[in-house]
Chains A and B, each alone.
Chain A
Amino acid sequence: MDHQIDNPKLAFAYLRPACVLLTREPTVGNVESLSTQLRHVNDGTLQQLQDYVLFPLRFVLKIPGPKQDGLVQAVAEAMAYILENTCVHCWQTLRDLLSELCLCLCSPTDPGKPAPASEELKAAILRCLDALLHAAYGDVVFKLFEPTMLPGLGAAISLLLALGEQEKSRTVQAAALKCLQVLTLQCDCSLDHVSVGQKERHVLGSTMASFLPGITIAVSRVITGDMRHGHTVTVRAVKVWFKTVGLVMADDQLQKAGCEEKPPTELGRVGELVVQRTPDWMRNTSGRLALLLKNIISCTSAHQHWRVRLEMVNLSDHLLTNCKSSLGECVGLLLEALVGAVNDEETIVRERCEAALMDVAERSQSSDGNNQAFTDVLSENLHSLATSLPRLMRTSDDQRKMFVLNVFLGYLKILGPRVTSVLNSATHLQRLSKALMQVLELDVTDVRIVEERSSILTEETGVGPHRPHAQRKHFLYFTDERIFSTVKEICRMLGYYGNMYLLVDHLMDLFKESAVYRKQAAMVLNEVITGAAGVVVTRCQERQAKPSQEDLKSTVESIIEEYTSPSHWHLSTRISEDSESWEPEQLSQSSLLSISNDVEGKGNALQSVHAVRKNSTIHDLNSNIWQICIQLEGIGCFAHALGMDFRLILMTSLYPVLEKAGDETLLISQAALNAMWDISQACGYASLKELINENSDYLLNNVSLNLQRLGVHPHAPRVLTVMFSHSDSSLLPLVGDIVQDVLLALDMSYDETSPLFCTVLHSLMKALARWFPSGIRITNENNKAKKVWCEQDQLNVHQFLLDFHKQMELAEGIGVEEDVGTENPEIPPLTDLDEDMEGPDVKAELPYHITIAKEVMERCVHLLSDPRLRLRLKVLDVLELCVCVLSEKENELLPMAHRCWPALLLRLTADDPLAVLRAFKVLCTLGETCRDFLRKRVSKEVLPKLTASLSKQAPVSARAGPVYSHTLAYKLQLAVLQGLGSLCLRLDLGDSDLDAVTEACLPYLSCRQPPKLQEACLSVFRHLIEADPDAFWFTLNELYCPCSYSPPHPNLQPVQLSGMGVQRNEYIDNVLKLLEIFGLPQDTTSRNPKLR
């Protein structure tokens, strides 16, 4: 077949026998041989022989009587081949072929119904029909649509519709629908098509108007019918539907409806078929179409296959483009369908839809004739949607909710700048805001909200460089996070296009009106401002008037003022204030739970507040917590909205945020931290530290103001705490006068406010201790050095003996007191410190943190004897920190230590066990730095009491059961034992003291004691061994000696230790553990240098 015949004469000669044969004997074989031969003739030649070769084929079809399916099919295929490769010039041919093919399709008995033929046959005939219509020349094809042709055309159309609707095979269905589409000259396949001019189109439209009801009804049945018939058929059907409707109802045709000429009267009965597209007809039709459309859209918009949804978008777009005014009733439906697809999960659908919406929006703006009507439709839709929104949110599933909200959003996007005028209508605004309020209702029943406590107050280093992740909100009516983000986008859209002042006023009214809407109103408000600033808005259209930065700023300022007003900011978030009962009464009054603003007059306010407080449920508290969080989020949003301009607002807004960052409720403090991060990003600060340092003047101004009125503003200490925990020492110079204020205020009133101030002092000292790490570690290093020195010494037995001998000679009778190991290392740190000083005469100005620490310590001395235990404990903590900070300047520490000693001593000896515990910790810390100062005092005043109590308690704890470890007495024992060893070592206590300690501790080596106490006691001995190895080796061996020592020379007397040969007793385990420190017992005979 590489060479086709291109000579007509040759071709004729070639084809003639087959044609003649076929005419004589109509068999399948003959048809097929003809069609094989046809393929050897090229297209141009075939065109010339078209009529000739078609004749035998048509002849076969015209043979009266029933025919074989196979034969007809073969004929149809052959004809299709011819028609696909040639053109039809002759009207006669076209008309005849059309009717002949239709005849083949319909049943011989009932011409309106399709024949019960095989699928293949139908497919072949449909293909042939398709080819025929494609092959028809422009001048002939339009004759099809002349009124005289209406009956024939109608028959064809109804046949095709019947096939499309009732046929079982999908291919036939699709092919029938495709034919229908071709028949209306709206084919979209890749072949060449007749170009349809304006006038022809009009004719086409008029003709098809007659069949519009039939086509639309039947096709919509196809669309909405069986969902199983696959997407190809549905897509094709949708296409046919909207192409037909678009053709008949086209605006440009109908506008000229008036000037339509009367139908020619000579048509006779056929004339009755002609439809006049009058306005009346248009209205009726549009109404009916709206019904159909509703069905179609509801079926397709949620269709599983994206091609169907895409086709639905095409439908909406096509009809909105071409028939907006004639299909007045359908516009709302179409828009809804379109905007509902804006957030389709399939990108192609989404993009197509966005483009369509853009077109719609632009068209609606440019043409002002229908503008108002269009806006009305949109705003009406929006209104009814807003009305039904709360109900839909309550009842439908997440998928449906998402769809509804997308539709909502889509409307706003199309309305664009006209949102302003829609919102100007009070009912619309009311409806819209109420809907949002109801949709955004939060679920506040979770107990954890109020339970979770933040640890910022106790945390050492504050929060790291990463922002905590935002807490998820739980809504009453939906769970999907995407739904929330859509609602947020709706709010932003409102802010972007709407009148900012109007919206803000309205929402602020809602916010103030009642607690029911307060949280939602704040949420919406936050997003509206974000939208108004144009941040995070996926832009659709340019808006007309962007609010100026100045307007935005003043609006934000007023909102923040409202947010941070005491009645909305200081809400009660805790079940009882008992834990802080020492806070002034005003505090509890200011942190009132605000239920409603119109409490019955000011006079009763307090009473009712108290009544409410008692009844405040977890529900209310949670609600309050969330409200504060949302307001904090809002401040973050506003910062982003204003950018650098927010810096000026920091003067008033940063302080409240920090106030909340120090809040004890986890949720609030996290929200506040997030807000701080938002602010620092928006204002161009690299970190929270920078934010606080750069704005410390603003913060401190508020802090100092509020410190003077602590009763009314009790949160200033909290702010200071937060500042300290996020900042560094560069803050110190600025804080200076605040600290002075605090100390002064403390001096003025020791009674009421001291607990609060103590909190400030505590955080201050903690920060100082963090910023200026003290030199306590140096002493530790000295100890290590000493240890090494001892070990080196141990190796040289000879030298030791010489030294020992010398010592014995020198200190005859004095004995142990002047031990070498303990005296030497004590001096270096002192001399070091002396050398650090610039000289005795020049009194160098003290670093500021030292001055502060001194002043704070001074106050601690007074507060240590406060009757309130909680306060005493806190003061002890502060005191310990003071000691840490001061430890770098021993000259300053010692006088202070001297001053606070009497008070501390009282805490150690005659106070609540809890206080003793803390005081002992302080003592240990103090012992790290000023050992000489403490040595005598401890041995005289503290040790006797401690050892006495240890000795007294030892038998008790030895007998006690497992519950004992929960008692305070146990904890005290443990604390003392844990600290005692290092204290003794640090202070270099004398031997008599060490003996006393040993005596008190020995009972605790018993295995009958609770394990933890044994361990603590072991640690005491380890320290003691470090201090004086020989003495304690001896002491331990007195208790139990695991091996015997034979003298290396017969002249030496054998060693006798009282622990030798002792039977197993309760101390053995621990003694053995301790003796391991000295090395393995079997080697001791030759190496042990510790013989006296």
Chain B
Amino acid sequence: MARPAPAPLYTLRGAGSALNALQFRCCGGDTPLLFSGSAQGSVHVWNLITRRAGKVLDGHSGASVIWLNTLLSRDSLISQGRDMRVCQWDLAEGRSDVTDSVWTGSVGFCRCSLLETGPGRWLLAHPGEAMEEVKVIELPSRQPVCSLVPQRKPGMVMCINLWQPDSGPGPLLLAGYEDGSLAVWDVSLRSVLSRVAAHPEPVMCLAFDPTGQRGVSGSSEKSLSSWTLDGQHRLQVSEAPGSHSPRQPWDLTTVYPGGR
């Protein structure tokens, strides 16, 4: 029999409702922080030294916060809520103001994906107004870059991942759809490079490791699928790593190089 799971180091209590998104911020000599987005639309800022919620950011008018990122800089945070908005926060010097907000128009629960293209410049991929649409915009200018709408109707876009390949001109985007298919988009060409039907049911989450060109996706039929991307950016489903997960996979955040 397997040994019992080790006890958690500490349980942070007091968020008041279910949590949908987490993001660490541990840089330099600063107090390490953890951001959590709750189903009631508030973002708690946890001080990991005192292990208490310091500030509570309320910017999504009660709608569930589903995605958080720190924009790689020390004092700003980006959050996506189901109120169809993506908010950017300024947290420097104890402030907690929304500096910018983008209206996405998506009522689904597909999370955004962020890619840093240069110092202080990012690409943000977010689900669009139409069900299957993915929009890419540039931050902080909010310039729309493109809108990616597949020709076939694969249903709602469920999850996306944006990355910059080592070779090749523009950033690529992986998207999982409601019909269980995965598609690789070339953002600059606005075209689908490859498509594969990875699951029979909607894709719920995906994670991709750009160095190993491998990824894993989970679907609502409680199975995981692993696939690779070859030199021509073609998706190939490999042997499923097996295991039916006992619960519906929701969040596969990272695939480490080496595939573990």
Q: Which residues of A contact B (CB under 8 A)?
A: 647-648, 651, 697-698, 700-701, 704-705, 708-709, 734, 737
Contacts and interface: CB of A to CB of B under 8 A. Distances in A.
B13 A697 contact: yes
Given A705-B7, A708-B7, A709-B7, A648 B50 contact: yes
Contacts of A708: 7
Contacts of A697: 12-14, 51-52
B14 A734 contact: yes
Contacts of B51: 651, 697-698, 701
Nearest to A648: B50
A879 to B, nearest CB: 29
A709 B6 CA distance: 11
A701 B14 CA distance: 11
B13 A737 contact: yes
Contacts of A737: 13
State the main secondary structure of chain B at its contact with A.
loop
Contacts of B12: 697
For the complex, would chain A's binding face be called helix, strand, loop or mixed by DSSP majority? helix
Given A648-B50, A651-B51, A701 B10 contact: yes
B36 to A, nearest CB: 14
B14 A704 contact: no
A996 to B, nearest CB: 55
B49 interface: yes
Contacts of A648: 49-50
Interface of B: 7-8, 10-14, 49-52
* Top-8 shortest CB links A-B: A701-B11, A697-B13, A705-B7, A701-B10, A697-B14, A704-B11, A700-B13, A734-B13
Contacts of B49: 648
25 contacts: A647-B50, A648-B49, A648-B50, A651-B50, A651-B51, A697-B12, A697-B13, A697-B14, A697-B51, A697-B52, A698-B51, A700-B13, A701-B10, A701-B11, A701-B13, A701-B51, A704-B11, A705-B7, A705-B8, A705-B11, A708-B7, A709-B7, A734-B13, A734-B14, A737-B13
A57 B8 CA distance: 108
A709 B8 CA distance: 12
A709 B49 CA distance: 25
A566 to B, nearest CB: 15
A1092 B10 CA distance: 76
Nearest to A647: B50
A704 B9 CA distance: 12
The interface centre, meaning the residue of A648, A697, A737 with most chain B CB atoms within 10 A of its CB, is A697
A812 B52 CA distance: 75
Contacts, number: 25
Contacts of A701: 10-11, 13, 51
Nearest to A706: B7
A705 B50 CA distance: 18
A894 to B, nearest CB: 31
A836 B13 CA distance: 34
A709 B50 CA distance: 25
Contacts of A705: 7-8, 11
Contacts of B7: 705, 708-709
Contacts of A704: 11
A696 to B, nearest CB: 9
Given A648-B49, A651-B50, A734-B13, 7 more contacts: A697-B13, A700-B13, A701-B10, A701-B51, A704-B11, A734-B14, A737-B13
A708 B4 CA distance: 11
A799 B222 CA distance: 80
A647 B52 CA distance: 12
Contacts of B52: 697
Nearest to B11: A701
A709 B5 CA distance: 12
A647 B11 CA distance: 18
B10 to A, nearest CB: 6
Nearest to A704: B11
B135 to A, nearest CB: 39
Nearest to B10: A701
B45 to A, nearest CB: 15
A357 to B, nearest CB: 45
Nearest to A708: B7
A708 B6 CA distance: 11
Contacts of A651: 50-51
A700 B7 CA distance: 14
A697 B51 CA distance: 9
Contacts of B8: 705
A716 to B, nearest CB: 13
A648 B49 CA distance: 8
A648 B50 CA distance: 6
Contacts of A734: 13-14
Contacts of B10: 701
A651 B10 CA distance: 10
Contacts of A709: 7
A901 B14 CA distance: 37
A282 to B, nearest CB: 64
Contacts of B50: 647-648, 651
Nearest to B49: A648
A704 B50 CA distance: 18
A700 B14 CA distance: 11
A690 to B, nearest CB: 16
Contacts of B14: 697, 734
Nearest to B5: A708
B32 to A, nearest CB: 14
A96 to B, nearest CB: 91
A165 to B, nearest CB: 77
Contacts of A647: 50
Nearest to A737: B13
Contacts of A698: 51
Nearest to B50: A648
A697 B44 CA distance: 15
A697 B52 CA distance: 8
A786 to B, nearest CB: 46
A708 to B, nearest CB: 7
A812 to B, nearest CB: 66
A783 B52 CA distance: 51
Nearest to B14: A697
A150 B128 CA distance: 121
B42 to A, nearest CB: 15
A970 B3 CA distance: 55
A698 B51 CA distance: 8
Nearest to A697: B13
A737 B50 CA distance: 21
A471 to B, nearest CB: 34
Nearest to A651: B51
A651 to B, nearest CB: 7
A698 B14 CA distance: 11
A338 B10 CA distance: 57
B181 to A, nearest CB: 40
Nearest to B16: A733
A697 B8 CA distance: 15
Nearest to A705: B7
A647 B49 CA distance: 11
Nearest to B51: A651
B53 to A, nearest CB: 9
A647 B50 CA distance: 9
A709 B4 CA distance: 11
A312 B30 CA distance: 62
A708 B14 CA distance: 20
A691 to B, nearest CB: 15
Nearest to B13: A697
Counting chain A CB atoms within 10 Å of each CB, the highest count among B7, B13, B14, B50 belongs to B13
